[in-house]
Amino acid sequence: MKALLLSFGFGLVAVLQAQEFPDTEEIQDVTGTWYIKATASDKEIPENLRIVSVTPMTITALEGGNLQVNFTALIKGHCRKMSFVLEKTNKPDKYTADWGTHVLYIMPSIVKDHYVFYWESKKRAFRFREAKLLGRDPDINQEALEDFRNAARVAGLNAEKIFIPKQSETCSLGSN
Ligand SMILES: *[C@@H]1O[C@H](CO)[C@@H](O)[C@H](O)[C@H]1NC(C)=O
């Protein structure tokens, strides 16, 4: 397990240092339903962008290999429908969004049915780096969480401040 963990970490280091992710043997099928189990970032996310709770994320394949990502998030007391297209690149694990202002790397976790989505936002207004731990079920898996924490540390994200969003099937505003 340690070796896997290390190679995973080196993958992230390679992303950061060479801006390049090592080639993987096969294209992973990431379509379907995902639960966002944890997030980590390199800086404090402003309140107007900070997610409190989330509905499951659906990823559907579009023609040409792009991916459609949809979910709803509770942000600053409002339910916000998140919907964006991940544009494929010439690397199977790398996608871009919003005309290249966001770069995403999809990496498998050491735990089955878990992935890490590693984002870099190069938008002028707010540059940040963030990783999300996704899983096929809503339960927290301690091993996947520990792997995620290590990966976050290697990537230079704030591993001490991992955020675990509340899961909900529909976005609910509570008392509103
Ligand atoms: C995702 O959201 C877009 C835009 O709102 C919508 O057109 C599309 O049907 C949605 N896809 C799924 C699978 O919900």
Do 141 and 115 form a contact (C-beta atoms < 8 A)?
no
- Read off the pLDDT of each residue in 133-147 and give the average, rounded to a whole number: 94
Please name the residue whose Cα sits nearest to atom 3 of ligand 1: 83
Assess whether the C-beta atom of 83 lies below 6 angstroms from ligand 1. yes
Q: What is the mean pLDDT of residues 24-42?
A: 84
79, pLDDT greater than 70: yes
pLDDT tens digits, 45-72: 888 888 889 999 999 999 889 999 999 9
Q: Give the pLDDT score at 51.
A: 86
Mapped onto helix, strand or coil, the DSSP state of residue 49 is helix
Report the distance separating Cα 66 and Cα 89, nearest Å. Answer: 9
Note the pLDDT of residue 152: 92
Closest ligand 1 atom to residue 60 Cα is: 13
Task: Go through the domains of the chain in sequence order and give each one's CATH number.
Answer: 30-167 (2.40.128.20)
pLDDT at 62: 95
Q: How many whole angstroms from 74 Cα to the centroid of ligand 1?
A: 18
Cβ of residue 70 lying under 6 Å from some atom of ligand 1: yes
| Mean pLDDT calculated for residue range 28-35 | 91
Decide which of 100 and 35 is more confident.
35
Contact 169, 55 (CB under 8 A): yes
- Is ligand 1 within 6 A of the CB of residue 31? no
